Amino acid sequence: MKKALIWIVVILAILCLVGAIFVNHWADTGHGRLNYKVAVILKFLSLSEDDGSENGSRPSVAESRKRLLEKVEKFSSVPVTVKRVINQKIPGPAVDIPVRIYIPVESKSLPVVLFYHGGGWVQGNLDSHDNLCRYLSVASNAIVVAVDYRLAPEHPFPAGLDDAYAALVWVSENAGSFGGDPARIAVMGDSAGANLSAVLSLMARDRKGPKIARQVLVYPSTDLSRLDNDSYSYFGKGFMLTKANIEWFRALYLPNKDNWTDPYASPLLADDHGHLPPATIITAEMDPLRDEGKQYADKLKKAGVSTNYHCYKGMIHGFVSADKVLNQAHEALDEIALDLKKSF
């Protein structure tokens, strides 16, 4: 019996050593090291999933939307409880816009965060970012209004953006109806939603629209005119979001190539970044969008905009939604919540 136990221990030790060697190899990207949990996740996803982006057999838009929701379900934790959730529709420029309002506590005057989900302007909805919005609402003690803007390819640029701006105006005019303070409004989004949030900040300034207390941009897309910087070269394949994915999203959202350089599609290209709301910009080290997020932070700082920039080491695109397995997801949201409280 004693010999058998010794052999079991030896075999387990060998398996752990071999596993550690494999994980160490997976974590080495040649341009930095992945977090070991992220390295394992990517390896298993590569074995179990293939979106066809590299071989021309890409799934349909409907299937891609379904897969995003399935992936979110795998990596999102149990939803945080908030005091009240309101699902309703608000007037839009073309059709009514569904919104979901998260109220953390009953109050007559809480700050409001307008949240725009990611998904390449093609995927995502109110359910795909429900957990994130709940956590953010409680952590920041703010009402979160998630906006289900119209998606491409059914509704290409600028339909989704028009909905996003209409929701901002509606909240500024109706915040009191659900306990919000119209004088304390922030905008936030991840990926494509971060792009919309950055553009909304430009639009609100240009149109003398609602005052925005803070813009929170989580791994934002800021320049769709070119997809050729270092982070695209290093991490454009094999790190969750691929360059091929982004090219597909761009083709659906911006079918007219002339719009690629429009500052309301590529906010990095705006002539003037002054007089914009204070910004929090979060990027992931192994994300093809990393460099343009940093470039946007640099542009804002140069223009005199107070900007908190944080690149999360070893992380990939989408990590903030993977709070079931990544502590960094909560760290990023807590950092955001702290910045929001300071702005409010």
Helix, strand, or coil here: 310? strand
| DSSP conformation letters of 3-33 | HHHHHHHHHHHHHHHHHHHHHHHHHB-SSSB
Burial 95-113 (b: 16+ CB within 10 A, else e): eebbbbbbbbeeeeebbbb
287 in catalytic set: yes
Q: Residue 292 CA to chain centroid, in angstroms?
A: 14
Residue in 64, 76, 191, 201 annotated catalytic:
191
The candidate with the shortest Cα–Cα distance to 267, out of 236, 303, 292, is 292
Strands laid side by side in the 110-116 sheet: 84-90, 97-103, 143-147, 110-116, 180-190, 214-218, 279-284, 307-312
Q: Which two tokens stand for residue 30?
A: 């040649």
Q: Which two tokens stand for residue 285?
A: 């080290």
In this structure, how many other beta carbons lie within 10 angstroms of the beta carbon of residue 61?
16
Burial of 294 (0-12, 13-18, 19+ CB in 10 A): middle
CB proximity list for 13: less than 8 A, separation 6 or greater: none
Spatial separation of the C-alpha atoms in residues 312 and 31, rounded to whole Å: 14
Distances in whole angstroms, Cα of residue 72 to Cα of each of 210, 229, 319: 32, 28, 11
Q: Which two tokens stand for residue 184?
A: 């304390």
CB proximity list for 172: less than 8 A, separation 6 or greater: 182, 185, 209, 210, 211
191 in catalytic set: yes
Spatial separation of the C-alpha atoms in residues 193 and 118, rounded to whole Å: 5
Residue in 117, 129, 273, 317 annotated catalytic:
317
117 in catalytic set: no
| Residues tagged active-site | 191, 287, 317
